[in-house]
Structure 1
Amino acid sequence: MRKLNGQKLKTRVIYNDVNPEWNEDLTLSVTDPKLKVLLTVYDHDTFTKDDKMGDAEFEIKTYINALTMHLQDLPCGTIVTTVQPSRDNCLAEGSRIIWSDGKLIQDIVLRLKNVECGEVEVQLQWIDLPGSKGL
Structure 2
Amino acid sequence: MVGSPVMSSEMQNLLGLLRVRIKRGINLAVRDLNTSDPYVVLKMGRQRLKTRVIRKDINPEWNEDLTLSVSDSNDVNIHLTVYDHDTFTMDDKMGDADIDAGPFLDAVKMNHDRLPEGTVVTKIQAGRSNCLAEESDVVWTQGRVIQDMCLRLRHVETGEIELQLQWIDLPGSKGLR
Structure 2 counterpart of 1:109? 150
Determine helix, strand or coil for the equivalent of 1:134.
coil
Q: What is the deviation of 1:32? A: 2.5
CA distance in 1, matches of 2:73, 2:133: 22
Structure 1 counterpart of 2:49? 9
Letter in 2 for 1:5: G
More strand by share: 2
Q: State percent identity of aligned pairs.
A: 60
- Which 5+ residue runs of structure 1 have no aligned equivalent? none
Spell out the pairing of 1:91-102 with structure 2 (5 A cutoff): 91-102=132-143
> What is the aligned length?
135
CA distance in 1, matches of 2:96, 2:44: 13
Structure 1 counterpart of 2:70? 30
2:89 to 30, 34, 48: 48
Q: What is the deviation of 1:129? A: 2.8
- Give yes or no for contact 1:110–1:120 (8 Å, CA) kept in 2: yes
TM (norm. structure 1) is: 0.96
TM (norm. structure 2) is: 0.74
Letter in 2 for 1:128: D
Superposed structure 1 runs of 4+ greater than 6 Å apart: none
- Asked which structure has the greater CA Rg, the reply is 2
Determine helix, strand or coil for the equivalent of 1:89.
coil
The CA RMSD measured in Å over matched residues stands at 1.0
